[in-house]
Structures are given as structure tokens and as C-alpha cells.
Amino acid sequence: LKAFEQYRLKTCIDFKPWTGEPNYISVYKGSGCSSPVGNRQVGNQRLSIGQNCDRLATVEHEFLHALGFWHEQSRADRDDYINIVWDQIKEGKEHNFNSYDDTVSSALGVPYDYGSVMHYSKTSFNKGSEPTIITKIPEFMDVIGQRMEFSSSDILKLNKLYNCTTFSTFLDSCSFEEPNICGMVQGEDGTGNWGRVRSVEGGPNTDYTNMGRCNGAGYFMHFSTTTGSHGDNAYMESRLFYPKRRSQCLQFYLYNSGGADDQLNVWVREYNRANPKGVLRLIQTISGLRNSWELYHVTLDVSQKFRVVFEGVKGTDTSKGGLSLDDINLSETQCPHHTWRIQDFNNLLATTPVGSKIYSPTFLSHEGYSFQISLYVNGKTSSSTNMAIYFHLTSGPNDSQLTWPCPWRQATMALMDQNPNIQHRMDNQRMITTDPSKTSTDSLGNVEYFWDDPRKVGSRVQNPDGTTYYRGPGYGSSSFITHSRLKSHNFIKGDDVIFLLSLEGNFEVDI
């Protein structure tokens, strides 16, 4: 279902439950990951999501087949870009490397994409340790085969193929690089204004989009609180939106260089027949001095025509700057429940020994389960070229009211691609499910339920302040992301990485 959400966010394609249509896709758990290419007009068209296929990008890959996509290395022009090493391919698997002329597989005018989610890796179906695919530009050897997300070219081709001019759940993205500020307007009721600037004397020195790397670019919106009186305010209102769902996620970066009690209020202005000029409803208030760009997610619950309204309010404390906003995204998707921001990350990469791990703070799910993430920045000793990540249940304030072993909850751990436009992001995600029947054996040979109450199956942990809790065993991936991919895209930005974390029950979306 989360793969379907990416289709809805980035294309006009949607999926719905079968209601008797003559041709449909039937998903089953087979022996691997496979799908016929295109609509075969056979009624029940089977698509296998088997063992080790439950990564988001793998599901995207198989449904792209069903939507008409061949593998990228099957293009008619593939020999201009790669060499197939036929004698290194496992016997009987050669057909996977066939190419098709452009009467069968159209490139749709899009250049060859080494980063496509449809491209095989360099070692796919190899019978030894040697590659089966060699890129003619050596720098792309470790690019091919990514299974993070759709690439930009994947999305471009899909939208061309299906003549998409709108998107199912995407509403807006704004980095304020254009003078029209994405159709936003100054509210009429404030005492001041938001201004489009490139730096502020009291901070920030740069925007978040470009971080000062592009001459003539790098704008953000700023409300100054250096002068004026307590309570002075300014409104900035988005253009009108017409929601299809009842829930939206608003994401933005905020930099507060003003007073600690300066406030950013997030409102929605809702319109209906009884209120043709709109009625303001407060969603969230944010305050506190940060002096850095901070990521926020705000869940909206709007079902009628609306605008998003940002109100900056001057507090009583002395201010050297004010409130700044950048990289706003709005979509009809679920917000992640929590973020884990790791600062000075390049230094961690340079100094953390292989096999050493760091832990996130503990977080609470909406149901009350407490959890934590462990991260091997430079990998485990068995896989030192990869960053490893693991999910742990931890003891928390609600344990006596919860069901144990924790039944069928899905944990999502996503390394955020900090591209300013949510549609262009290639987050690296790993999802795991808490199977209540899963068991493990402790050091004394006792069999215990893996996802049981951490007070029973976990280890006691002492915090720096002397408080203690219990951490259950970890489950995840020793090959979450290679270090070469980690340094690509915008995973590390401003020397920081951001993880988006959720733990939820049945994943429900409007379909």
C-alpha cells in the first residue's frame, strides 16, 4: 500500500480494489518477485511479491512491469551504454538480459537511466563473483540496480506513457526561488509582512534549498521580529487547494533566530457556502529558539476548499532576527510520526569504528508502543561497506495496557532524501512487521517471543541522567544503504541526515 502511495504522489495513476472488472492484477506471495509486462488482457493477471520482495522499491518495480515497463537494460539502445557479460550469467537466466527493439519497448524520448528502479545491478544473476553488466562509463557501476525509489526518469516516462497532467495526492511544493512565491499572498490582517530574502543578519545566512551553493539563487521567506511590539504579526497565505481526501501532510523547514517566545502559527482557512470568505482554524503553534533550519510535519484534516496560512507573531524576548520558512511541501499523504535528525554526520562517518552503533531517542507510536532505532554508521564487521539499521521495541509508560507480543505492527525506517520537492525524493526505506509468532533463543537456550514485552526479553539500559529502561532485540538490515549511495542525492545535507520513523497498525489510506 505504501508503494501505491508513491504512485499517487508522483503520477496520476491510482489503484483500487477489484470490483468485477474483466482484467485485474492479483497479488500473491510466490517464490520470488515477478510480473508480466503490460495488460495481458487475460483476466486475472498474477503479480508475485514473495520472500525478500517486500521492499517499497521492489513493489514499485513489479507494478511498473504491470504498467508496461521493461527493464531499463532491455532498451533497444542499451548497447550504447552497457555491456552484457554473457558468460557470467547463470545458466537458464540469459533471457532476463534480452533487449527489445523500439517497436516493443519505447524509451519515450527519455535518455538511458542508470539510476532507474528498473535497472539490474552489476551482479544480477551472476554465477560467481564477476559482474554480468558493465557500464561503459565506469562511474555508473555502483549506480545501477538501486532499489530505493522511482528515479526522476522513471516518473517522467510513466507520466508520458499515461498522459499524466495532474497528480493524485500531490498538492504543492515551494522553495521560493521564483518571485511569485508559488502563488502565496500576504494576509491583510497583520501588522507586518513576510519578505523574500536570501539571508538575514541574525540568521539564517542561507536558505535550506541550496545552502548558499548557487549564485543568484537561494531564497526563503522571512518575518522580522527585531523591531516592533509584542503581538505584531504577519500572515502568509497559500493559493487555494481542493482536497480529495480528508487528511493532508504539510512539511516545511523553520529557522527561528528571533526571540524564544516568537511564534509560528499554522492555520487553515476553510471555505464553504456559509463562509465564502473563509474561516480560520488553528492547527499548530511552534515556538522556541533554534538558530538552525528545523524540519516540521503538520497533519491537516481538511475536506473542503482551503488555504494554508502561516502567521508569524513577535514575542516579548529580544530578537536578533525572526522567523524564516523554506521548502514547503503539501500532499494528501500521511505524515511520518517522528523524525530523528543526526547532526555532524560526516564526522561520524569519519570517526565511528566498524561494528559500533548509535541509538536514536525512544519514540512512542500512536497506540503507545515505545521503540528505538540502532544505526551502524560504518556497518557491521560482516558488511562494512553498508550502513546497517535495526528496529527495537523498548519499555515505555503504556506497557501494562498493550498487547504482547506486539502483533502485526509495521515499522518504517526511512533515510530522507532532502530534495526540496517531495515528488523528486528517493528516500531509502526499510519496513519490518512485528510477527507475534516470531521466536528467538536467549544466551541460556530459552526460547522467547522476539516481539514480547521488552521488560521480559530486553536488556536493561541506563540513560546519562541515571534513569533506566529495557531495550528489546533488534530486527532490520545489515545492508540498509551502501556508503556510495549514502553520499548521493541529498541524504546528507548541511552535514545532517534525517530519518523518518513510524510504527503503525493496519496501514490505511483512502482508496
Give catalytic residue positions. Answer: 62
Name the phi and psi angles at 331, rounded to 5: -145, 160
Distance CA 391, CA 11 (A): 31
Q: How far apart, in Å, do the first and last CA atoms of the chain sit?
A: 10
168 in Cβ contact with 13 (< 8 Å): yes
Q: Please report which residue ranges of 285-361 form alpha helices under DSSP H.
A: 345-351
Are 106 and 130 spatial neighbours (Cβ–Cβ below 8 Å)? Answer: no
Answer for the pair 449, 201: CB distance below 8 angstroms, yes or no: no
Whether the CB-CB separation of 47 and 62 falls below 8 Å is answered with: yes
Beta strands in 350-424 (DSSP E): 358-359, 363-364, 370-376, 386-394, 410-415
E-strand ranges in 19-176 read 24-28, 33-34, 44-49, 82-84, 133-135, 170-174
With cell 471555505, the residue in question is 271
Helix intervals (H) in 105-212: 152-161
Is the N-terminal amide bond of 204 cis, ω within 30° of 0?
yes
Contact 344, 369 (CB under 8 A): no
- Write the DSSP string, 7-54: HHHHSS-------S-SSEEEEE--SSEE--SS--SSSEEEEEE-TT--
**Maximum Cα interatomic distance, the chain, rounded to a whole number of Å:** 78
What is the C-alpha to C-alpha distance for residues 236 and 326, in angstroms, rounded to an integer?
13
CA dist 65 and 58 (Å) reads: 11
Which residue, chain included where needed, has cell 519578505? 195
Whether omega for the bond prior to residue 405 falls within 30 degrees of 0, making it cis, is yes
